[in-house]
Amino acid sequence: MAIVERVFSGVQPTGNLHLGNYLGAIVNFVRLQETHNCIYCVVDLHAITQPVSVWGGPTELARNTREVTAAFIAAGIDPNKHIVFNQSQVTGHAELTWIFNCVARIGWLNRMTQFKEKAGKDRENASVGLYDYPVLMAADILLYRATHVPVGEDQKQHLELARDIAQKFNNDFADSIRSHGFADGLLFPPPEPLITGPATRVMSLRDGTKKMSKSDSSDNSRINLTDDADTIAQKIRKAKTDPEPLPSEEKGLEPRPEADNLVGIYAALSGRSKAEVLREFGGGQFSNFKNALVELCVTKLSPIASEMKRLMADPGHVDAILIDGADRASVIAHETMQAAKDIVGFIRKP
Ligand code: AQP
């Protein structure tokens, strides 16, 4: 089993898919199709780590799984050339998580900031699954022996943990890995995070110091991929700003998180750098810049929203894409699981 360059990433079906998910992750998923074999997963096992009241229950979970799939396809992911599926259809994710639970150290998980943020003050009441989330994420990636993982900035720490788990497994089982024909001693290549572009951390439209997030109680804090043109315009016009005109150079954005965020969004959507955007809009009124941003957002996002709507009207078609993707993902996952089981010493049917 030679290591081939392969991309893996996932999005949780927890509703309110937003511009941050799009610019931080999905845009890069689309781009990487040109150069890599890609596997894109709707991570439904991750979604249920939160209380049922957060992910909405069975009907919502199924709907949101189809909606993320529709967003992938509407944004330009080709499910025929690449693989698109939902995580729970491939049993290897849960199986490999168990092996990795016995490799990862409690001290490593105790350092994960996302768990601290999501569990909040009521940590005793958080699910074991939420605590174990980063181990499941490592299994997602390494089940396909993926080498590159496009994610937003918030997932950097989890990616480092996935690398630590890969390295510890390779060390703990070094002799067995070699004796099973992996001459380089690597069953799991340490995956590289790909955190690229001017919008790796899109911030809330209401507070430039907080990440744009699906779970923010204010819908005005985010632009949802399903928002219509009027809603997008309203949200951008209401977005928090400061009274100063835009600076002409990027350095001038440093103490101004809200301005920095909007310029970053414009840059990412127009495929330009923040410096280029400021060359055009620097010194001008915020209201003019916001008008241009509304126009750009509507131009870029409206076709995605209408294609999502079209796809969502035919759930049978979306499910067929997920089933076909899961069948193809299972072939790769099965191969890795057979090797992992042999290396650990589990007896299995040949
Ligand atoms: N604000 C963001 N800016 C840039 N990238 C982001 N991502 C999420 N928020 C931003 C990236 O989107 C991908 C999918 O995220 P996810 O759905 O798996 O999980 P999440 O990070 O928990 O998403 P949210 O929207 O922030 O949800 P809540 O409210 O539950 O915390 C990932 O690559 C992520 O980096």
Pocket test for ligand 1, best of 114, 140, 154 (most atoms within 8 A of CB): 154
The class that CATH gives domain 219-310 is mainly alpha
Across the range 20-31, mean pLDDT stands at 97
Stated length of the chain = 350
Across the range 230-253, mean pLDDT stands at 95
Residue nearest to atom 31 of ligand 1 (CA): 213
Express each pLDDT in 58-83 by its tens digit.
999 999 999 999 999 999 999 999 99
Mean model confidence pLDDT for the chain? 96
Which residues are CB-contacts of 224 (< 8 A; sequence separation ≥ 6)? 16, 17, 18, 19, 231
Ligand 1: lining residues by beta carbon, under 6 Å: 11-12, 14, 20-21, 24-25, 151-152, 154-155, 200-202, 211-215
Residue nearest to atom 2 of ligand 1 (CA): 20
The answer to whether residue 211 is catalytic is yes
Residue nearest to atom 19 of ligand 1 (CA): 12
Catalytic-role residue among 156, 168, 214, 300:
214
The answer to whether residue 300 is catalytic is no
Across the range 158-178, mean pLDDT stands at 98
Kindly give the residue spans of alpha helices, DSSP state H, lying in the chain: 19-21, 27-32, 44-47, 52-55, 58-75, 92-101, 106-110, 113-119, 128-142, 156-172, 174-179, 229-238, 257-270, 274-281, 286-312, 315-344
Residue 54 CA, closest ligand 1 atom number: 30
Homologous superfamily (CATH) of 7-200+314-344 is: HUPs (3.40.50.620)
pLDDT higher than 90, residue 100: yes
Q: What angle do CA 306, 312, 318 make, to 5 degrees?
A: 125
At 277, the pLDDT band (50, 70, 90 cuts) reads very high
pLDDT higher than 80, residue 230: yes
Q: What is the pLDDT of residue 162?
A: 98
At 307, the pLDDT band (50, 70, 90 cuts) reads very high
DSSP label at 18?
B
pLDDT higher than 90, residue 332: yes
At 285, the pLDDT band (50, 70, 90 cuts) reads confident
Across the range 251-262, mean pLDDT stands at 95
What is the Cα–Cα distance from 336 to 234, expressed in whole angstroms?
Answer: 49
Q: Where are the domains of the chain?
A: 7-200+314-344, 219-310
The answer to whether residue 118 is catalytic is yes
Contact between 104 and 165 under an 8 Å Cβ cutoff? The reply is yes
Q: What is the pLDDT of residue 1?
A: 72
Across the range 164-180, mean pLDDT stands at 98
Q: What is the pLDDT of residue 153?
A: 95
pLDDT higher than 90, residue 183: no
Query: How many percent of the chain have pLDDT more than 90?
Result: 93
Taking the centre of ligand 1 as the mean of its atom positions, its distance from the CA of residue 212, in whole angstroms, is: 8
What is the Cα–Cα distance from 239 to 231, expressed in whole angstroms?
Answer: 12
Strand arrangement, sheet containing 37-42: 83-86, 37-42, 6-11, 148-150, 192-194
Pocket test for ligand 1, best of 18, 19, 21 (most atoms within 8 A of CB): 21
At 4, the pLDDT band (50, 70, 90 cuts) reads confident
Q: What is the pLDDT of residue 164?
A: 98
At 6, the pLDDT band (50, 70, 90 cuts) reads very high
Taking the centre of ligand 1 as the mean of its atom positions, its distance from the CA of residue 201, in whole angstroms, is: 9
198: Cα within 13 Å, side-chain hemisphere: 19
Pocket test for ligand 1, best of 27, 214, 260 (most atoms within 8 A of CB): 214
What is the Cα–Cα distance from 228 to 298, expressed in whole angstroms?
Answer: 8
